[in-house]
């Protein structure tokens, strides 16, 4: 599959490299041409890897992964171009975190409680099929659940059953055997609002190598 990954940070790098290793053709997108991190990704990853600006990555991909800082997610998608996103599955991995008052960050007020960044993206790009996933863990664990003695759970939500099936297939390629479907895109509120707890746990454990696990009777 041709996949465009928007973002060159740790999350974008982890996902792009894993997807390329799995045999997908991946273009890593960045704000500006000749991005050094994107160039290094291409050099180290091999023939399945390409680099370009956001619009080029979005145009290339049959599926798009949004892996940027949540505060600039809408800005990155605008640069990617609505026409390049139309009709495609858009995996949203972002969290609407506000670092203006230092650590730990809070959630951006207008994107929490009765709203979410996932919902806002879907409303802004109604011709795209947004699926929220992988935002409740660190980037290394996203692509390698075997890092932990018990992998825990991965969640997803979105309005399109077909889109969620595509994303579930990719999650299973990563090693997640039973992704939990939380329903429509409004469930992104719950996923994003888990981040304050995740951040506090990071502070207690001193590591981000942990995950949530649902245990049922």
Contact call for residues 67 and 10 (beta carbons, < 8 A)? no
Verdict on whether the full-model pTM lies above 0.85: yes
Q: Domain boundaries in the chain? A: 2-205
Question: pLDDT tens digits for the chain (217 residues)?
Answer: 999 999 999 999 999 999 999 999 999 999 998 899 999 999 999 999 999 999 999 999 999 999 999 999 999 999 999 999 999 999 999 999 988 888 888 898 999 999 999 999 999 999 999 999 999 999 999 999 999 999 899 999 999 999 999 999 999 999 999 999 999 999 999 999 999 999 999 999 999 999 999 999 9
Alpha carbon distance 109, 99 (integer Å): 12
Instruction: Count CA within 13 A, CB hemisphere, residue 92.
Output: 34
In CATH terms, 2-205 corresponds, of 1.10.10.60, 3.40.50.720, 3.100.10.10, 3.30.428.10, to 3.40.50.720
3 state DSSP class of 129: strand
């Amino acid at each position: 599959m041709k996949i465009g990954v928007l973002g060159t940070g740790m999350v974008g790098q982890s996902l792009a490299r894993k997807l390329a290793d799995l045999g997908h053709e991946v273009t890593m997108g960045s704000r500006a041409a000749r991005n050094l991190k994107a160039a290094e990704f291409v050099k180290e990853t091999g023939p399945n890897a390409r680099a370009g600006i956001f619009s080029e990555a979005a145009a290339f991909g049959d599926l798009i992964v949004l892996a940027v800082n949540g505060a600039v997610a809408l800005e990155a998608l605008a640069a990617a171009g609505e026409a390049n996103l139309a009709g495609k599955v858009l995996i949203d991995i972002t969290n609407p975190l506000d670092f203006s008052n230092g650590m730990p960050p809070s959630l951006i007020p207008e994107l929490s409680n009765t709203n979410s960044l996932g919902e806002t993206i879907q409303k802004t790009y109604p011709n795209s099929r947004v699926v929220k996933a992988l935002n409740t863990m660190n980037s290394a664990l996203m692509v390698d659940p075997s890092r932990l003695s018990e992998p825990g759970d991965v969640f997803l939500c979105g309005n399109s059953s077909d889109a969620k099936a595509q994303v579930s297939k990719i999650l299973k390629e990563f090693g997640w055997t039973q992704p939990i479907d939380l329903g429509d895109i409004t469930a992104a509120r719950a996923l994003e609002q888990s981040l304050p707890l995740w951040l506090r746990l990071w502070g207690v454990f001193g590591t981000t190598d942990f995950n949530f696990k649902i245990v049922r009777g």
